[in-house]
Structure 1
Amino acid sequence: MTSTLTALLYLGLFLSRTVSTEKQNLSKPIIWAKPDFMIPKGKQALIFCQGTPEAVNYQLYFEGHLFLQQSPKQHGRRNIAMFHIPAMTPLTAGQYKCIYRSKKLWSNPSDPLDLVVTELYDTPTLSVHPGPEVTSGENVSFYCRLDTATNKFFLLKEGRSPHPQHRYGNTQVEFPIGPVTTAHRGTYRCFGSYNNHAWSFPSEPVKLQVTGEETLRFPPLCPLTPDLASWDHTAQNLLRIILAFLVLVALMCLLAEDWLWRKRAQEKANGASSQECRRRFRTQRRLNE
């Protein structure tokens, strides 16, 4: 019985520490920008940060330093803060992260958001070889040229996530792609840059056509604004329910074991009492004889 109580005590301590740790580890928020991660010079930008439904305060950090604070607004079941940048400049272009507070706890930082300001330099030219219409399996090269020397070039495909290809060079670089498939179809632009967050005007678009292969077409991906924070919160509540259920099962097992132990002890006591009565009866009978 003592060993069972000890084991249950350790189980309770473990579960309470697990629940306490789960409560203290707030899920990191989601961060995104509108209209895009690339903002023309002088245009406004909106940065959104989404935490759990219990979030009461948000902080936005720019290059590691506190930039803005904001109270959240409810959008359906989502708890979101919106930060407004009136005009993008090289001074507001860079890496952003956000955190939120729930009760007395602060979350971990979000994933980084890199905002780029464009239309700062001359316009580059983009060309593709052997041409804009190719057959599946061929190798293709995009050439981006900027007459005013720079040190870095970026190639973007419209509709793709903000992870552009980049190459270092002074006036021209090559972006080899291939063997191409129909997945490479699309419209491309290139930019020149002196750093990762300050880019030139975009080049004129170049549309790449790839023939000779049929593939399934899927609808375009929605912007990265899923309610992941709510999912994390639901998972935390589910874990707490499971832990509470395990504690309840352990208590029921303890009660059942205690009941069985008492029943066996009572049966043993009743058996001993019956034996004692029979012994006294036999002794008294011998004395009478």
Structure 2
Amino acid sequence: MAVVLHTLLCLGLYLSQSTQVQEGYLPPPVIKGLPGSMVLSKKPVTILCDGPPEAEAYEIYKMKGPELRDRTKSLVTGKSNTVNISEIKPDLSGLYRCSYRSGRNWSLVSEPLYLVMTGAYEKPSLSSLSGTAVASGNNVTLLCFSKDKFQAFILMKDGLPTIQRKSSAHKNNKHQAVFHLGRVTSTQAGTYRCCGAFDDYPYVCSHLSDPLQLVVNEVPDGPTPTEPRHPQAPHHNPTKGYQHALVGVSAASIISIISIISIIVLFLFVIRHCKARTDTAKRERQPQRAGPMNGRASGATDSQDVTYFQVDFNVPTQGTASAPSSLPGQTQTSEYAMVTLR
């Protein structure tokens, strides 16, 4: 059973690969200009179609336009994968593509090579409206301008075979073109140049502008201007957390101690206040001491019971001492004291 399954899988893989080959699904080659795609007037250049080792034949052709149907007659057909141009001229500039054959099937067509002849006119200027050092995700706009009446401007980046072409506009007594790079990433950092051209020879260009170095700074875990920033978990420091725990425990202990002391003080105050009221009540319930015995009942209007005590005072008069029984000359005085019972 395992042998049958293995055989079926291999057969399916073979049929799938065969179908892809018949339909032209071989991977496309890479086309290059050596030493570069921007070639100074009257200088040599080599066009290379770089395919896999199993490639048996190549085709390199010049395009009349950007569409695949605009291809012209092949410049090369056979095992050679290069086209050598000893001297670049206006009629040799333009778009080039290539493909290769393996077995009976041809590959997909390569991306276009923009072969530009430079040095035909005075150079324009290139500047960045967003600055030369930007953060990743920011919008970048480049401006190529010249006092000459160029009908188009071409922007290229070193190391890349593709370029951008824009029609010029007359503004502020100069012709210019605006190139929007959009939100850039680190892959778009590098050296940019531009040149001016005319419609009759769209890939015959002026001298290249001075280089503009674009620096794109990556922001770690940083958002683009339209994306929200994702919060990051703070770095955990065990020692710091332990210190925070100690501070929290100490603060809680201090608050607890202050609360207990406050309760004790309040309790003692309530006890003392109650004791003071009790003592006052006891003193008020004790009999009041009599006032001066002047013979008047000072509390006669009080509705409480009043008891009077008679006190007799014997005051001796002057004379000779005699026996107690013979003291007719003594004067007797009576005073009354009032006692209130509560």
TM-score relative to the length of structure 2: 0.46
Q: In 2, are the aligned partners of 1:117 and 1:198 still within 8 Å (CA)?
A: yes
Distance in 2 (CA, whole Å) between partners of 1:68 and 1:205 is 33
Cα 1:147–1:21 shift into 2, 3 Å: same
Q: In 2, are the aligned partners of 1:128 and 1:141 still within 8 Å (CA)?
A: yes
Q: Does structure 1 residue 189 correspond to structure 2 residue 193?
A: yes
Structure 2 letter corresponding to 1:57: A
Distance in 2 (CA, whole Å) between partners of 1:179 and 1:103 is 44
Unaligned runs of 5+ in 2: 1-7, 64-70, 221-342
1:77-122 per-position Cα deviation (integer Å, ceiling 9, x unaligned) = xxxx222111222211112121223334333322222211111222
Number of residue equivalences: 201
Structure 2 letter corresponding to 1:28: P
Identity of aligned residues (%): 33
Equivalent residue in structure 2 for 1:68, among 75, 88, 100: 75
Equivalent residue in structure 2 for 1:201, among 193, 196, 207: 207
> How far did 1:41 drift?
1.6
Distance in 2 (CA, whole Å) between partners of 1:56 and 1:185 is 37
Equivalent position of 2:57 in the other structure: 57
Decide which structure has the larger Cα Rg and report it. Answer: 2
> How far did 1:65 drift?
1.5
Distance in 2 (CA, whole Å) between partners of 1:178 and 1:15 is 42
Structure scoring higher RCO (CA < 8 A, sep ≥ 6) equals 1
Q: Does structure 1 residue 172 correspond to structure 2 residue 172?
A: no
Equivalent position of 1:102 in the other structure: 102
> How far did 1:201 drift?
0.8
Distance in 2 (CA, whole Å) between partners of 1:52 and 1:14 is 24
Distance in 1 (CA, whole Å) between partners of 2:132 and 2:58 is 49
Distance in 2 (CA, whole Å) between partners of 1:111 and 1:158 is 17
Q: In 2, are the aligned partners of 1:136 and 1:179 still within 8 Å (CA)?
A: no
Q: In 1, are the aligned partners of 2:141 and 2:181 still within 8 Å (CA)?
A: yes
> How far did 1:149 drift?
0.4
1:9-47 per-position Cα deviation (integer Å, ceiling 9, x unaligned) = x99997775454244344332222221221112111111
Equivalent position of 1:122 in the other structure: 122
Which secondary structure state, in structure 1, belongs to the residue aligned with residue 19 of structure 2?
A: helix
Structure 2 letter corresponding to 1:144: C
TM-score relative to the length of structure 1: 0.53
Equivalent position of 1:236 in the other structure: none
Which secondary structure state, in structure 1, belongs to the residue aligned with residue 91 of structure 2?
A: coil
Distance in 1 (CA, whole Å) between partners of 2:78 and 2:208 is 36
Equivalent position of 2:310 in the other structure: none
Unaligned runs of 5+ in 1: 1-9, 74-80, 217-289
